[in-house]
Amino acid sequence: MNPSSTSVSASIDAEQRKLTVRWPSGLSHTFHYVWLRHNARCPDGMPNDTAVKIDLLPDDPESLVVESFEIKNDTLEIRWADGQIETTHNLPTLLGSAYDSATRRQRKPTPVLWHAGNTGEIPSYLFSDLNNPEPSYRLPCLFETLVLPDSRTYR
């Protein structure tokens, strides 16, 4: 799903300290203020030359209050009442980051159990061979033998 900013809406529940985003599909996801502030991926959240995210949370997370927000150009822009920072959230990224229990359950991978016949196919190597410069002793690339459940092989 690629949400269009014109068909996405949002509302604030100030008492519960949450922002709810409603998507064109009819789904809605709720994001807590602390999560929104901490997970911001905007230039103000990385204002140094190391590109290391700085902590955007105040000492008292209870003091986080959304002053205003706007959805434009597939981005949720939030202005915080403490005046320290404005955060932005890409809508497709926000949709993919929803953390309610139903969404997390959908994203959880289904385990694939191996049957006993697979154990003979698992390659094993001596540790001493790892440092051998001879090409014949080099370990095959993992991706040469990786087969996903839908039978696609990645090389």
Helix, strand, or coil here: 106?
Answer: helix
Under 8 Å between Cβ of 17 and 32: yes
* HSE (side-chain half, CA atoms, 13 Å) at 80: 23
Alpha-carbon span 94 to 96, nearest angstrom: 5
- 107 — phi, psi (to 5°)? -80, -20
Domains of the chain plus CATH, in order, are 9-107 (3.30.2020.30)
Tens of pLDDT, residue by residue over 5-29, are 558 999 999 999 999 999 999 999 9
The strand ranges marked E within 23-74 are: 28-32, 66-72
Q: Range with the lowest mean pLDDT among 87-91, 97-101, 113-117?
A: 113-117
Q: Residue with structure tokens 């929104």?
A: 36
> Rounded distance, CA 98 to CA 95, Å?
6
pLDDT of residue 2 exceeding 80: no
List the one residue out of 78, 63, 73 whose CA is nearest residue 31. Answer: 78
Q: Among residues of the chain, what percentage have pLDDT more than 90?
A: 37
Alpha carbons 99 and 106: distance in angstroms, whole number:
11
Tokens standing for residue 123: 């390659």
Tell me the pLDDT band of 73, cut-offs 50, 70 and 90. Answer: confident
